[in-house]
Chain A
Amino acid sequence: MGAAGIGGGTVNLYSWLSQFFGDPDRRHGPDSIVHRVGEHLLFSGEALGWALLLAVPLGLLLGYTGKAAGLVTALSGAARALPTLGLVTLAVLLAGVGDTAVLVPLVALAAPVLLVAACEGVRSTDPDLRDAARGIGLTHRQVLWQVCIPWALPALLAGLRTAAVQVIATATVASYVGLGGLGSYVVGGLATRDFAQTIGGALLVVLLAVATQLLFALLIRYALPAGLRRARD
């Protein structure tokens, strides 16, 4: 079946979707939607966790001291250019199918975003505020925790949102090397020309990404300390 055989637009799309969601395999067993969403969220979460652990403390520190900020921006720009599909396939060839092979590329995707967000967030703290905090006798540690980090929280969360959405979207690609998740529908369907499965899977990824976007939009709205919310309005 080539490109010509799959035209027809909305009628087909509807029948594909009802075929996909009507299949009993989608409700039970290892290929069920719940199971696939679980896998997808599990390795996305794991990658985000590692990226947070590696990038945020470093970013906060670099942002606070103001050192190497230009280097951070340049490096993360270069990291953005790395093609994830290439990293995933290479990691599998080098490390074998397994957790490391998905985690490394996904962490490489998320960490630079978080590093820049943490660094820029802290660096953008109002200098008057920092001076005042030092002036009333706060130690550097206290200034970082009580002034700079609350100030940087919205930027950090915005970075986390970008990273989370990118990781969830890219985890789809990871299924190409046989690692489960929602991408299995997309990739498996492409391989067997089962477009109902491919399109159904794609729709689920889109829904998951949009849900993540909305969740973080709510978080960002309520995470900003009340005093800052008033100050910035």
Chain B
Amino acid sequence: MGDEPLVRWHWIGTHLGYLRDLLLDHAVISLLPVLFGLLMALPLGLLCVRFPRLYQPLAAVFNVIYALPALAVFVVLIPYTGLATQATVMTPLTCYALAVLLPTTVDGLRSVPEPVRQAATALGYGPWRRLAAVELPTAVPYLVAGLRVAAVSSISLASVGALVGRGGLGYLFMDGFQRTFPTPIVAGIVLVTALALVTDAVLLLARRLLAPWARRESVVGR
């Protein structure tokens, strides 16, 4: 590598707009899947709580899915969703998020104490209103714990998508490597980590607002 410094500030200064575009793309392809995962985990989790026999096999399937290597899954999907498309990267990331969020949703919904549930019913709450006003709020600390794990790993994994042509900030790693130029790589690592930490902080803040009683981290999932 010779005398090339680790960071050339000049390059960063002249590429700010470029870095911002990659950061935005990265946020979209890594965080939208987490949102989709949550939207699927809620109804699936409700079903699993309602029909407990469903949960074991579903959890086993998602455990295996979670173990699949991201790069391999991206590649296997290319014939179906196309090279360098958002779908190729976002489909597996959605599955990973769902794999993390399903168990935490089920744990959260099961954490509602039976007397609380009965008290709500006795006050005249129907099943839907009880769900919205009692069960989901009680599950918030669990949901946030799951979302934190899902979001951080999704942000870190999305950069691998660069190898199949759609990886947001991950593109900086390939670019820097091919040109033997460390500055973009360092910038990429810093921005990916920063995005993950900011997302984590936002989720913590959301929990504090939505579930102020859960100060202590006693329910952190996996």
Contacts and interface: CB of A to CB of B under 8 A. Distances in A.
Interface stretch (A52-60, A121-129, A140-148, A167-175): A167-175
Given A7-B79, A86-B188, A186 B173 contact: no
Interface string A62-74: 0000000000010
Interface stretch (A18-26, A30-38, A196-204, A224-232): A196-204
Contacts of B172: 86
A83 interface: yes
A177 B79 contact: no
Contacts of A169: 67-72
Interface in A206-225: 206, 209-210, 212-213
B152 A83 contact: no
Given A187-B163, A195-B79, A89 B185 contact: yes
Interface in A1-26: 2-4, 6-9, 12-13
Nearest to B175: A89
B156 A82 contact: yes
A85 B69 contact: no
A202 B1 contact: no
A85 B163 contact: yes
Nearest to A202: B72
B163 A190 contact: yes
A165 interface: yes
A205 B156 contact: no
Interface size on B, as a range, is 35 or more
A93 B180 contact: yes
B33 interface: no
Interface residues of A, number: 49
A190 B164 CA distance: 8
Interface stretch (B107-115, B130-138, B189-197): B189-197
B163 to A, nearest CB: 6
Contact of A90 (B159, B174, B186, B220): B186
Interface of B: 1, 63-64, 67-73, 75-76, 78-80, 82-85, 148, 152-153, 155-156, 159-160, 162-164, 167, 169-170, 172-174, 176-177, 180, 182, 185-186, 188-189, 192-193, 196-197, 200, 220
Closest 7 CB pairs of A and B: A169-B69, A81-B196, A3-B82, A202-B72, A89-B177, A86-B189, A202-B75
Interface of A: 2-4, 6-9, 12-13, 73, 77-78, 80-87, 89-90, 92-94, 165, 168-170, 172-173, 176-177, 183, 186-187, 190, 195, 198-199, 201-203, 205-206, 209-210, 212-213
